Structure 1
């Protein structure tokens, strides 16, 4: 032990475990499990703090720094942030992740045995996905952009749906790692979905308003929901967002098909 830490060995190579990276006090010949990485000066170092990802796993990692000459740095849960090389990022800087964006990443070793962040492959992310139900059409979802394609991007939604956003359905250009709020426009036979970030189309508003009318007709021409109702209650009952509900309700109110009173909505006779 030195004043500033411990020297560890596996019998072939020595490495420093700094005091601030040690969770306990140790004596000579004690065994300790550590994670090895190269510090900011390129020296092999040890820490008892285990990273959130390894060479055999991946996770969602937050971007904490962007350097155009190198790439982007992501937080893996240890003192040193890990570099995702510019060689693994889009050629166009405008498509790079921004600070605060999130990436599906693991770790990899280069030819010099240095650790780098590694973008997860489509097949890995696909294993996380689930089949989207047919009734999810026109619902609002959130998700992370994880891959660029020739005419759009791939997204994994918070629900676990694999989504495709065509460039013509983008309200504005999106970034790798950007979290988007989208509307499902089509549910494919394989359970994947097409999405759009553009405003809800007129047809969807009509479909939602017709659904609300049908719902009320089946319940004595009334329902305990208004445009001021709780978003979670609306989502649970109708599987649409509060915004979509308000658009549909607005159409019905404007056409004077319904009226609202005391937290209720009634079909006008």
Structure 2
């Protein structure tokens, strides 16, 4: 039985209160009646998430916010001296022991939580005391790959982020072109995987292959600004960042392409949208 994971199990037994589901090794988990279909039959297969409740294995068709080895933003539903219970997205709350809290967890507030199995107790547990910017091996990413991010928090070098719910990476301050907020979700791109196994991420795609995206941002801005943007290749990186949320490098590539395609005119202190036929 893969504890803390979503998996396919077979119905082995039915009774008035629910179903007993079984894996290939014969280990069982109980699925309460509220999650069972009325037409379920012995031998049918079901996709369920398996967790512990009172030292027993139980199953649910609900989807947890995070499985074992994953991170998610969770809200505290109860805080006690011994630890905190977090809304995990399923019928049972996730327990974060007091010693696994980076700072004391407060009820009704949201936190980034990592889900793991306590090696001594064998219980599914949560923690907010995870390592920032760790090293990895055999990462399943390629440079430039699009990924989902959770903004973890600001650091001396930039912003720590969670990549695809499983990995910690870093966005350098120089690659941040918009306002970021802790625990918010963003789309990012793998910038590099360093020799030490650390992951660098950027909020924007790099290279000429992605320049169409930046050109569209500029054209959309020109449309809503009556055909004018008071930026040029002489503008500072800060001015471009504030107006378009992109780097000066990508801005210059984009306007260069738009100029060659005769879609804009580049003036000393602004760019102007050209009408068809100009």
TM-score, with normalisation over the residues of structure 1?
Answer: 0.47
Higher strand share: 2
TM-score, with normalisation over the residues of structure 2?
Answer: 0.46
